[in-house]
Structure 1
């Protein structure tokens, strides 16, 4: 997966990578040339007392060194650009893929894991590319070139290379094999830390309300300790790698000096040659050490690449049609909603959540859906804008199956106010413009007026430009609901879906809002999911949902006379109000 990911996302950076290769080759050749020049100075210049020769060759060494430095800097620069570009493209690809996911895929991965995969996992792959740009060409070039140049200096000492390199590879390889499972475990435990932290920050009010700070602190401490323990175990192995490398380097250096001294003594080797051979051996072993760095990073990057590829390779269960329908033939867009024998079951569930649901929500009318907790109301709402696909039956808008409509066209027809209204960080204006970027200020104030939000927005410092924090946490629950309703109204869709969107409003505000809605949305289709019966008494038709089935439908008066389930819902709410 790692290689496939790198090939796919580094392809646009071919020119940068070519520049990296060229500069790394130049730097490596310069590095290989320096020990030979150094040996010439010692053996010819110093031995013969030739100052001019020393100055000339020394000047060449200085120029080669400067060239090596310049090429290395250029290689790192272009490598960094390629790595940053890869990170940008992979993060963009993950975001695009996740945006296509249905609720089913988002739930399967989990938001904390998706965040980790688009940040920490991408960073691991990015660092691998950056290190590769620095070491990928240099390490093999120095290793192969060093072997050749060392053998040219003295063939009889070359057996030291044949011993040192395999020993180093065997020692470091045994350490790396033990690190791979730890890196995989590390990423999973980072997911857990993110999940726990996200839950605690999101539910901080609940934590404080139930005085569970100590319990949550202990829960985070356990997750944090697990990450720390895994990191320490991996760190100990990584720390063991460096002394092992240094041990082999130092023993090899001592062996060259020991055996080289005998050859110098018998006149078969010069001092400069031995120093050059020692330099080349150090270059060979250093290149192996650099390859070790890469080998340490590759397992973790490989784990991260697998996790990234898992997201990118997951197809949404809600797929766009191959030949999308742009509009209902011969019919104007009215937002009329039809469900025919709709059923839905979550993957692996023993029982379906919805079964044989059939109804029609007509344009210009209000259709209300009521039912007890767990009856399937929210699942039914998710099928309307195709956040899920029905497992049986069909959902139609203006006579066209939603699975045949182009997604942008489908969502353009719908104004959804979810059960938990969410506001984005920015201003009141930016949130209202979310559905219609070109809306005028008059349209924004009109939507706020209908949603009964005009008064409190005017009182906020800045009015439409008043700041809104992430999630709308700086406004009350009722204000957040009204702003979410206003956002849907600005869009002016043909079909409005209110998923228990009036639950945080007081009775008087609820009544004013419903009256204003009825006047301003004439001709549109309204679907209201409600827990409170008082919010739906004026609906043109009320559907009673029980255990995933529609058990009754009609007006408020008709259901009071004919539906026992509806009577129980009404009576339970009346009893609660009387108790208050």
Structure 2
């Protein structure tokens, strides 16, 4: 509950008003059977019309009060639950934004979507039910038992037997259902993942005519969810027949023993009527309570998943010193000192190990190596997307932790291996890292990235709307816009992670020329598969299995480094075969 308090305190008034109004509703309703019994036993039997009218008016007033209380409770419980869910969803989204890549790797995107939508909706519903039924049911139960015992204490013994029997039965049923609800939410993750993957790759699916395959794959996930839901429901539905059985047996017992008391003259007809009404209210309140507990059982599984995200320790955070000093990068010198990294603490092998090099401001540092040699991981350590395991990374002779994450990342422009654009106009995307960028700055960045010409060929030019992920652009166009996005930031350090793989050699050469002309003081890291893309770099780092096996210029490595020579000659042979 403590974890949820920050999200509900904004609606604390509504949370307090809802129970108060429930109390008013219950008080207005609980005395109705007693008044009705008095009308029968005193008004009707004694033919006292005045008493019947006065008591009837009292019942009408109390009914109106109960209705007002009920309507008010519905309003405030809705406001509290919906508001709480909105705040919780916002808080969950905010927490995800603070995650490092390592934190994000722990959860799948489909699972996070399910937690932010379906799981929070389930929690919202149970909060609403709690404010309506969870408070109402115990009040009705307690006052109902009290009023029934006042009417006839010996008949109240039936209630004393029925309540424990029903309560224990419901407890065991719901206890057994909880694991199934948790499994059901996990199956829902798989369904959402299948939907997300299929919609993102719908063009690939259609081009390979794999619709039937995707349907079968989705059917497996969907049927698995169905089976989990059926198993959970099969247990939960047992609650209703158990409740009905206990309720009907109790009413029969009351009528039987109550009828005997009426015959013997120790009980009036009106009293028996009100007693039956109270026992019905008591057992109905137990029904409502069990429904709420049943919802709690499923919400408990959802809450566990939401709290798993909220309670995740973010492994990359600002140090108090960095926030206080607020140092900014001034030159862009980057130094790796015996850096090692592994994705998980439990992992035996380091993905990167013994990395040492210095990149001076204005230098172009190329990183090349076979697939899986941890090239991308190396550059992702610079903006602290992952945390260094051993050793140090320094920028301008200060450790990364000496900079706040905001100041560090604001000075670094990064184009990731997987290019992603957002829905909106091209201009909106270009301003992503620099909302205050002028039109002139945007155009200059696009010219440097060789994107200006094709943007101007569109009817709406820079106002062209992009589909989700930039689906209406080619791979090369997306890459060039992503490069321009990084340049609009005016970074002191620029990281290009294989960001020209979909661009032809001529365009790539033009981009390199623009960099040399306009980014003379920017430290540039380039990851590339083609040696032709990096052979003019000031320094080329050759990685193999997470270790530096060569470093120098193209000419130096061609003379001294066997790994680099093998890569070069294999690419030359492929190019010759193509020609």
TM-score between both structures, scaled by the size of structure 2: 0.96
Which of 333, 338, 342 is equivalent to 2:335?
338
Task: Label 1:328 to 1:369 Cα distance change in 2 as closer, same or farther (>3 A).
Answer: farther
Kept in 2: contact 1:328–1:399 (CA 8 A): no
In the aligned structure 1, how far is the partner of 2:501 from the partner of 2:46?
Answer: 98
Post-superposition Cα deviations, 1:111-157, rounded to whole Å, max 9, x if no partner, equal 22222222222122211110000012211111111111111112221
Match of 1:458 in 2: 456
Match of 1:21 in 2: 19
| Counterpart mapping for 1:546-565 below 5 A | 546-565=544-563
In the aligned structure 1, how far is the partner of 2:478 from the partner of 2:381?
Answer: 24
Kept in 2: contact 1:381–1:497 (CA 8 A): yes
Kept in 2: contact 1:327–1:333 (CA 8 A): no
Deviation at 1:73, TM superposition (A): 1.2
In the aligned structure 2, how far is the partner of 1:41 from the partner of 1:464?
Answer: 80
Match of 1:283 in 2: 281
Match of 2:419 in 1: 421
Kept in 2: contact 1:328–1:398 (CA 8 A): no
Question: For 2:155, what is the secondary structure of its paired residue?
Answer: helix
Whether 2:552 is the aligned partner of 1:529: answer: no
Gaps of 5+ in 1: none
Deviation at 1:217, TM superposition (A): 2.5
Which of 170, 188, 191 is equivalent to 2:189?
191
| Counterpart mapping for 1:170-569 below 5 A | 170-208=168-206, 211-324=209-322, 333-347=330-344, 348-569=346-567
- Which is worse superposed, 236-245 or 484-493? 236-245
Deviation at 1:472, TM superposition (A): 1.2
Kept in 1: contact 2:329–2:411 (CA 8 A): no
Deviation at 1:209, TM superposition (A): 5.2
Deviation at 1:215, TM superposition (A): 3.5
In the aligned structure 2, how far is the partner of 1:328 from the partner of 1:250?
Answer: 72
Whether 2:55 is the aligned partner of 1:63: answer: no
- Which is worse superposed, 76-85 or 21-30? 76-85
Deviation at 1:327, TM superposition (A): 7.3
Deviation at 1:372, TM superposition (A): 1.5
In the aligned structure 1, how far is the partner of 2:408 from the partner of 2:520?
Answer: 20
In the aligned structure 1, how far is the partner of 2:272 from the partner of 2:27?
Answer: 20
In the aligned structure 1, how far is the partner of 2:268 from the partner of 2:373?
Answer: 92
Kept in 1: contact 2:101–2:386 (CA 8 A): yes
Question: For 1:460, what is the secondary structure of its paired residue?
Answer: coil
In the aligned structure 1, how far is the partner of 2:207 from the partner of 2:564?
Answer: 34
Question: For 2:320, what is the secondary structure of its paired residue?
Answer: coil
- Which is worse superposed, 556-565 or 474-483? 556-565
Kept in 2: contact 1:100–1:316 (CA 8 A): yes
Match of 1:152 in 2: 150
Kept in 1: contact 2:42–2:48 (CA 8 A): yes
Kept in 2: contact 1:413–1:494 (CA 8 A): yes
Kept in 2: contact 1:139–1:287 (CA 8 A): yes
In the aligned structure 2, how far is the partner of 1:35 from the partner of 1:27?
Answer: 14
Task: Label 1:85 to 1:325 Cα distance change in 2 as closer, same or farther (>3 A).
Answer: closer
In the aligned structure 1, how far is the partner of 2:177 from the partner of 2:241?
Answer: 16
Kept in 1: contact 2:137–2:288 (CA 8 A): yes
Kept in 1: contact 2:336–2:392 (CA 8 A): yes
Kept in 1: contact 2:494–2:525 (CA 8 A): yes
Kept in 2: contact 1:338–1:361 (CA 8 A): yes
Question: For 1:136, what is the secondary structure of its paired residue?
Answer: helix
The count of residues paired between Structure 1 and Structure 2 equals 577
Match of 2:74 in 1: 76
Deviation at 1:296, TM superposition (A): 0.5
Gaps of 5+ in 2: none
Task: Label 1:477 to 1:327 Cα distance change in 2 as closer, same or farther (>3 A).
Answer: farther
Task: Label 1:535 to 1:506 Cα distance change in 2 as closer, same or farther (>3 A).
Answer: same
- Which is worse superposed, 307-316 or 432-441? 307-316
Post-superposition Cα deviations, 1:236-283, rounded to whole Å, max 9, x if no partner, equal 223222222222222222222222222112222111111111111111
Deviation at 1:319, TM superposition (A): 2.8
Post-superposition Cα deviations, 1:420-478, rounded to whole Å, max 9, x if no partner, equal 11101111111111110011112111111111111221122322211111211111100
In the aligned structure 1, how far is the partner of 2:419 from the partner of 2:329?
Answer: 30
Question: For 2:486, what is the secondary structure of its paired residue?
Answer: helix
Deviation at 1:197, TM superposition (A): 2.7
Match of 2:44 in 1: 46
Deviation at 1:210, TM superposition (A): 5.1
Q: CA RMSD in A?
A: 1.9
Kept in 2: contact 1:447–1:490 (CA 8 A): yes
Kept in 1: contact 2:413–2:487 (CA 8 A): yes
Kept in 2: contact 1:364–1:525 (CA 8 A): yes
Question: For 1:403, what is the secondary structure of its paired residue?
Answer: helix
- Which is worse superposed, 156-165 or 49-58? 49-58
Kept in 1: contact 2:326–2:407 (CA 8 A): no
Task: Label 1:514 to 1:6 Cα distance change in 2 as closer, same or farther (>3 A).
Answer: closer
In the aligned structure 1, how far is the partner of 2:157 from the partner of 2:314?
Answer: 59
Whether 2:556 is the aligned partner of 1:574: answer: no
Question: For 2:266, what is the secondary structure of its paired residue?
Answer: coil
Which of 74, 92, 95 is equivalent to 1:94?
92
- Which is worse superposed, 314-323 or 203-212? 203-212
- Which is worse superposed, 127-136 or 309-318? 309-318
In the aligned structure 2, how far is the partner of 1:333 from the partner of 1:140?
Answer: 65
In the aligned structure 2, how far is the partner of 1:577 from the partner of 1:533?
Answer: 12
Post-superposition Cα deviations, 1:305-346, rounded to whole Å, max 9, x if no partner, equal 2222221111122232231177798x9701111111111122
- Which is worse superposed, 111-120 or 126-135? 111-120
